[in-house]
Amino acid sequence: MNIRLVWTVFTTLLEGAGIALLGLWLLPKVDFPLPLWVVLLAEGVLLVLAVYFYHVGTVTLDQKPLTGAETIIGSSAVVVESLNPQGMVRLDGELWEAVTSEAGISSGQEVVVIGRDKMRLRVKPK
């Protein structure tokens, strides 16, 4: 069984018991009685929130982190050494060897990464 589901059910039951204890036992002792429907409404809202946060948390925790080559595609880089058709670009503070199919891109121009072949980027003008 999924440990996140067990933990969510356990903590929801614990919070529900706390609300019931507060609303049905403690508050009447200090002369502040709550109607039963208010306590039940609070329990219902707590249950709905627990299900919602369980869903959101599970979706978030199950996402695979985006790192590596797939994050480079679509990024902007600045040409450091003219691309004719090969040269160097600076991407996120790192120098990369790059190649383009365009006529020639001079130093200082901005390019977009459209692919990667091992350690060489394929770029086009922005």
Fill in the DSSP letter of residue 36: H
Residue where one domain finishes, among candidates 17, 35, 62:
62
CATH assignment at residue 111: 2.40.50.140
Residue 10's alpha-carbon distances to 43, 44, 61, 62, 73, in angstroms, are 14, 16, 19, 21, 43
- β-strands 86-91, 76-81: how paired? antiparallel
Residues 73 and 108 in one domain: yes
Q: pLDDT tens track of the chain, all 126 residues?
A: 688 888 888 888 898 898 888 888 888 888 888 888 988 898 899 889 888 988 898 888 888 777 766 788 899 999 999 999 999 999 989 999 999 998 889 999 999 999 998 889 999 998
pTM comes to 0.49
Q: What pLDDT does 62 receive?
A: 85
Q: Where in the sequence is the domain holding 41, given as residue range(s)?
A: 3-62
Q: What pLDDT does 1 receive?
A: 61
**Do residues 85 and 53 make contact, with C-beta atoms less than 8 angstroms apart?**
no
